[in-house]
Chains A and B, each alone.
Chain A
Amino acid sequence: GQQVMQIPQYQHVQEGEDFTTYCNSSTTLSNIQWYKQRPGGHPVFLIQLVKSGEVKKQKRLTFQFGEAKKNSSLHITATQTTDVGTYFCAGPEYSSASKIIFGSGTRLSIRP
C-alpha cells in the first residue's frame, strides 16, 4: 500500500543549528500538509503545499514541495528550544481521496 515515510526518525541538534526533515511518498500527492506536535501535546497544523515545486516560509521555517509532488521537506533555520517536538507530514491516500495518511514523524530535540 501507499506509504508516507519521513527521515530522519530522530534528530538531536545544538540550539542555533539548522534542522531538516524529509517526507517521501510512494505515489504522487495532490497536496501535503505539515503538523507539529509538542511533547505531551497534540498535532497542530503548520502549512499546506499544493503546487509542484512550491516553497513557503514561516519565519525560520521553510517548506518545499517537490517538482514531482512525491516529496517534501521542512527546514528550520537556527533552531530554538521552542522548536522541540515531532514534525509530521500528511497527504491523501492514493486509493481514497477522502483519507489522509500521516508520515512516521521526525522527533526533534535540542541541546540548549
Chain B
Amino acid sequence: DTAVSQTPKYLVTQMGNDKSIKCEQNLGHDTMYWYKQDSKKFLKIMFSYNNKELIINETVPNRFSPKSPDKAHLNLHINSLELGDSAVYFCASSQDLGRQGIFDEQFFGPGTRLTVL
C-alpha cells in the first residue's frame, strides 16, 4: 500500500536525451510537489500543484515541465538533459497547501536517482 510512488527508481541516460519521471499518490491529497536533492543533500522545491493547478514554479530551466493529468498524478518531463541535472528527484504530496502559512505534513515518494552521462 505505497502512499506516494515514483517510477523509475533509477534513471541513467545520456546528455541531450529527454526523459520523464512519474509520480502517483493514493492518499487523496490535493497538493503535490517535485523536489530536487543534490549530492550535498540540499532539498529544493521545484514545483507544486494544487488540484491540478500550478502553484509554485521555482527558478528551474524551462527544460523541466511538470504535468498533472489529475489530482493523484504529477509527472516531470525533462528535455535536453544536462550533466548538472544529475540528482535525486522526490515527489511529495500533502492534504492541502495549508492555511495562513501553517503547512500540512508532506509525504515523500522513494525518489528517482537520475544520472546523466
B111 CB contacts on chain A under 8 angstroms: 42
- A48's partner among B42, B44, B105, B108 (CB-CB below 8 A) is B105
Pull 23 A–B residue pairs with CB atoms less than 8 Å apart, ordered by A. A31-B103, A33-B105, A33-B106, A42-B108, A43-B43, A43-B90, A43-B92, A43-B106, A44-B108, A48-B103, A50-B102, A92-B98, A96-B56, A97-B101, A98-B48, A98-B97, A98-B98, A100-B103, A102-B43, A102-B44, A104-B41, A105-B41, A107-B41
Residue of B nearest to A102 (CB): B43
Interface string of B85-115 (1 = CB under 8 A from A): 0000010100001101111011111110000
Interface size class of A (residues with CB under 8 A): 20 to 34
A101 CB contacts on chain B under 8 angstroms: 45
Q: A30-B102, A48-B103, A101-B45 are in contact. List 15 more A-B contacts (CB 8 A).
A: A31-B101, A31-B102, A35-B106, A42-B108, A42-B109, A42-B110, A43-B90, A43-B108, A50-B102, A86-B41, A97-B101, A99-B45, A102-B43, A102-B45, A104-B41
**Complex: A35 Cα to B100 Cα, angstroms:** 21
